[in-house]
Chain A
């Protein structure tokens, strides 16, 4: 069965304290892995797509990496405005639906 698991469920960081969020997946025929940010009461906002093991993408303080079994979202020197829930989703071959994980709720304190 296809599964996407994110850890930790929640993460509290001091401003400037770098860390990583994990997304592990068991999916047959992976087309791509997506990272989204979700603010309270809002829809997911697209961050990155990764397609193959070894691929990396960066945007401001965020960097996403992909291996054959998992993806990491590294956050460097976070700021309070980075506080949000970060969602990982996978897309399989021959389907356009996204399979989401439960997310990591990140809180960054000044």
Chain B
């Protein structure tokens, strides 16, 4: 069964450093998403991306965050200057369309720890 692949599975970084989280969506999917889950809290929407541009973003997704699809297979989330409160599990998801009855396929996540 096709999977969304995320790397690394766990990343530890120092406060103020830049991090790039990587995702390989399912190959025929066109819509891409990042969500995050702070330990013990809800899964929260960050951003959706379609046709090489951001289609929607949340208030969490400020100027410190950016997304890119640098080639035909990868989808990345960059955090420019990490803060302690950025520590969370970050999930990438993809879909063939935004309003489909079978939802999105999520990856297994990257656990980001900012120290």
Chain A residues packing against B (C-beta within 8 Å): 31-32, 34, 36, 41-46, 49, 51, 87, 89, 91, 95-103
Chain B residues packing against A (C-beta within 8 Å): 4, 31, 33, 35, 41-45, 48, 55-56, 58, 91, 93, 98-99, 101-109
Whether A99 pairs with B45 at a CB distance below 8 angstroms is: yes
Whether B44 pairs with A36 at a CB distance below 8 angstroms is: no
- Contact residues in B for A98 (Cβ distance below 8 Å): 35, 43, 45, 104
In the complex, how many angstroms separate the beta carbon of A66 from the nearest chain B beta carbon? 13
Residue of A nearest to B103 (CB): A46
Whether A46 pairs with B45 at a CB distance below 8 angstroms is: no
Given contacts A41-B109, A96-B31, A97-B33, 12 further A-B contacts (CB under 8 A): A32-B99, A36-B103, A44-B91, A46-B104, A89-B43, A91-B99, A96-B55, A97-B56, A98-B35, A98-B45, A100-B44, A101-B42
- Contact residues in A for B41 (Cβ distance below 8 Å): 102
- Kindly state the separation between the CA atoms of A32 and B43 in the bound complex, as whole angstroms: 17
- Kindly state the separation between the CA atoms of A98 and B44 in the bound complex, as whole angstroms: 8
Partner of B103, one of A34, A97, A101, A102: A34
- Contact residues in A for B35 (Cβ distance below 8 Å): 98
- How many contacts A-B (CB < 8 Å)? 57
- Kindly state the separation between the CA atoms of A76 and B109 in the bound complex, as whole angstroms: 30
In the complex, how many angstroms separate the beta carbon of B10 from the nearest chain A beta carbon? 10
- Contact residues in A for B45 (Cβ distance below 8 Å): 97-99
- Contact residues in A for B106 (Cβ distance below 8 Å): 36, 43-45
- Kindly state the separation between the CA atoms of A91 and B100 in the bound complex, as whole angstroms: 11
Partner of A44, one of B43, B55, B56, B58: B43
Among B41, B43, B56, chain A packs the most CB atoms within 10 A around the CB of B43
Given A42-B109, A43-B109, CB of A95 within 8 Å of CB of B103:
no
- Contact residues in A for B33 (Cβ distance below 8 Å): 96-97
Can you spell out 26 A-B residue pairs with CB atoms less than 8 angstroms apart? A34-B103, A36-B106, A43-B91, A43-B106, A43-B109, A44-B106, A45-B106, A46-B103, A46-B104, A46-B105, A49-B101, A49-B102, A51-B101, A89-B43, A91-B99, A95-B56, A96-B48, A96-B98, A97-B33, A98-B35, A98-B45, A100-B43, A100-B44, A101-B42, A102-B41, A103-B42
